Amino acid sequence: MSTTSFPEDFVWGVSTSAFQIEGATSADGRGPSIWDVFSADRAEACDHYHRYPEDVRLMKDLGTAAYRFSVSWPRVFPGGSGKANEAGLDFYDRLLDELLAAGITPYATLYHWDLPQALEDLGGWTSRDVAHRFADYAAAVHGRIGDRVDTWFTLNEPWVAAFLGYGAGIHAPGRKSAAEAFRSAHHMMLAHGLATRALRAAGAARVGTVLNISPVLTPAQVSDFGRPLSEEDAEAVARIDTLANRQFLEPLLRGSYPAELLPIIERHGGLDHVRDGDLDIIAQPLDLLGVNYYSPSVVQAQPSEPADPAYPGSEGVLFCTVPTAVTAMGWPIVPNCLSLVLRRLSAEYPELDLMVTENGADFVDVVTGDGIHDVERISFIEEHLRALHSAVADGARVRGYLVWTLLDSFEWAEGYQRKFGLVHVDFATQKRRLKDSARWYGDVIRRNGLTETPPRRPTLETVAARAGVSRATVSRVVNGEASVSPEVRTAVMRAVKELGYVPNAAARSLVTRRTNAIALVLSVPRQGDALTAAVVQYVTSMLEGAGKQITLMLADTAESHRRIVQQAEARLVDGVVLLPSDRGDTLAERLSRTDVPIVLLGKPAVASLVPYVDVDNAGGAAAATEHLLARGRRRIGMICGPTDLVSVQDRLAGHRAALQRASKQPLLALADLTRASGAAAARQLLGDEPALDAVFAATDQLAIGALQAARELGRRVPEDLAIVGFDDIDAASATTPGLTTVRVPLAEQALAVARLLLSRLEGRHTTSVVLPTRLVVREST
């Protein structure tokens, strides 16, 4: 079969990191890392520390030529510096001997986010001294294993370590300071430069570093890279590219920070940490740049949008969701962006060798009697390899590709629920099991390329015809049912092997009695079309990515309710996502009695054991009210929507609680959900309370009505009257003046619903999810 071949010396392999797979967190003198302290999960992970021979055999069986691993700094220096822990270094001695005996080339990463806690206690990466301790650590590791490692990567994804760990606080060590994030980023790059000098002085053959590079696009550009941008969007794209990509690329490869970045750093804490000579140290010549790519960053200009904590300086930029297929993490799947990244790097730095050091995806894997058929992961990797091949054909200097990752492992803040591995790990028994993607990747390695067109998959009927048995018999065999005779089983498995058959969902369902069908039930919710559209788009994409078939059903009549319940009772669906009516109905209660897993979007009107996904309506309303109080507003009225709506009840409760804390009494006016009723309610409030100086409305539509009433009554906004809404609908940013409001995360709700249902289908314990809202301050306050 003809192939889309890669260069003869192209390197194929896999990547892992120490904290995610090693386990043995207190064995042989290892000290605690910041992740041991930060994480609620105990990271015994895959016990690779004791099971590395088995894992190396797996790599050898797949034919991998390269293995990128990371060294655990707290295993080598439990206190961060001082005397090295010989037992910790002994482990890497053993690992390297095993790899070389298997014919696998090791690529060592010195820092994959597991800073010794002892150094964090002294300031962590905000301390300049840590950069020098890192250089000492690099020299010590090279002194022990440098005779067997040719290629060294100093850091892995410093943007993540600095801005998620020190800026947004969602990674270890959990700090939330823009100034500390910028300071940490600089010190990590200084550490890279100092370590590079130390490694080269010790005789290291090749030294590089690893960056997570994502192209920054607007939503329209995701499907059309060449789409022209407005001046505002072009500025937003350029600013995020500077914060995420150029902040690291240019100091490392050009010896200077982007000019546009310096005022942002100055504004968030100054530049005193950048000393004369630092950039010369940082810009040590690189032999290889590792590129980690998963998905693009999608943004657009949005006036008055607050900065994302992970991107200090991103005020006025909205981070968008896009209508594409997504992984189980909710990350958009855009393979051609890998080509975009590689072409850009090769164009801007034409002498630099590149390696794709991480690329992979989390999908929900189903363990069946005949294997783990992760078709979605195969498709993801194949599409990205085709994009990579296109870039190589255009001259990109890409020397290899390493899948993330070999094993299902501990996925940082996500714990153990995320599955990126080619190999399934049962964490209770530590049993390894190859997924179909592992075997497929082994075939890619053996042929050094892809088939020019994906092969047509044999069907259940094809196998049945080859084996001379019925379709149902084939299904029983491949699903491990014991009732089939040994002779028939042998014939079927011979046909399966000869044809390369991978059972699909329909075949598995004959024995498992699972349909892989999910009912997405729409009850004409009053929350708004935008939320319904987001749910249909993202729930469908994510569940289909997990191998489910989605059936849309409308629950608008008693007859439709009866039909939906009948489908569940007959087990024609495996699960239900229900957008319940804002006002109470009994459909959720009736479905809960069928034993089919159900997830609700929105808190139900009547308390239920059925898990739901909602937003923090009360917290958002309290934040809006506290914002008005902080602006000096003293007479604040609220326009309520219908108080039988659960969301309105919660928003009213949050508003009242904030007023009570300020020792103020609520002033209320009731309305329905239309702009006209909002205007009428505002006129009522202003007539009853002429001294009113602020209005909080339960929805943006009501708030827009209040803006209209204020103009009619000659009240200036915000000078005389401040107005705040809730929801951040599209019209909120287009009002005059722009409407301050509370943003509800639409896409995040939809993705949370899908994740919650998948967890229920897998039998895991689940609880309801309440997502945070965010105040968006515009001119109306």
Cα–Cα distance for residue pair 601/534, rounded to 1 Å = 12
Do residues 89 and 71 make contact, with C-beta atoms less than 8 angstroms apart? no
- Return the residue matching tokens 């039998």: 763
Q: Which amino acid is at 4?
A: T
Cβ-based neighbour number of residue 486 at 10 Å: 7
Which structure tokens are listed for 259? Answer: 């000019």
Cα–Cα distance for residue pair 391/427, rounded to 1 Å = 38
- Return the residue matching tokens 């943004």: 299
Q: Which residues are within 8 A (CB) of 443 and not within 5 positions of it... i.e. 6 or more apart? A: none
Cα–Cα distance for residue pair 433/67, rounded to 1 Å = 19
Which structure tokens are listed for 235? Answer: 């500025």
DSSP, residue by residue, 652-681: HHHHHHHHHHTT---EEEE--SSHHHHHHH
Whats the size of the chain, residue-wise?
781
Q: What is the CA radius of gyration of the chain?
A: 29
Burial class (CB in 10 A: 0-12, 13-18, 19+), 203: exposed
Cα–Cα distance for residue pair 366/343, rounded to 1 Å = 36
Phi, psi at residue 13, to the nearest 5°? -170, -160
DSSP, residue by residue, 421-453: -SEEEETTTTEEEE-HHHHHHHHHHHHTEEESS
Do residues 601 and 535 make contact, with C-beta atoms less than 8 angstroms apart? yes
Give the residue from 467, 469, 464, 444 showing the smallest Cα distance to 454: 444
Local structure of residue 482 (DSSP, 8 states): T
- Return the residue matching tokens 């996502």: 577
Cα–Cα distance for residue pair 248/250, rounded to 1 Å = 6
Cβ-based neighbour number of residue 529 at 10 Å: 9
Cα–Cα distance for residue pair 402/117, rounded to 1 Å = 30
Chain centroid to CA 770: 18
Do residues 564 and 519 make contact, with C-beta atoms less than 8 angstroms apart? yes
For helices 471-478 and 505-512, angle between their N-to-C axes, nearest 10 degrees: 80
Which structure tokens are listed for 359? Answer: 């690329």
Local structure of residue 230 (DSSP, 8 states): -
Among all residues, which ones are annotated catalytic?
Answer: 157, 358
| Helices then strands, each counted (H, E), the chain | 29, 29
Strands 151-156 and 105-111 turn out to be parallel
Burial class (CB in 10 A: 0-12, 13-18, 19+), 764: exposed
Cα–Cα distance for residue pair 338/267, rounded to 1 Å = 33
Which structure tokens are listed for 73? Answer: 């700094």
Cα–Cα distance for residue pair 112/20, rounded to 1 Å = 10
Q: Which residues are within 8 A (CB) of 349 and not within 5 positions of it... i.e. 6 or more apart? A: 249, 253, 289
Phi, psi at residue 623, to the nearest 5°? -65, -40
Cα–Cα distance for residue pair 690/696, rounded to 1 Å = 16
Cα–Cα distance for residue pair 358/401, rounded to 1 Å = 8
Cβ-based neighbour number of residue 135 at 10 Å: 22
Cα atoms found within 13 Å of the Cα of residue 717, Cβ hemisphere only: 25
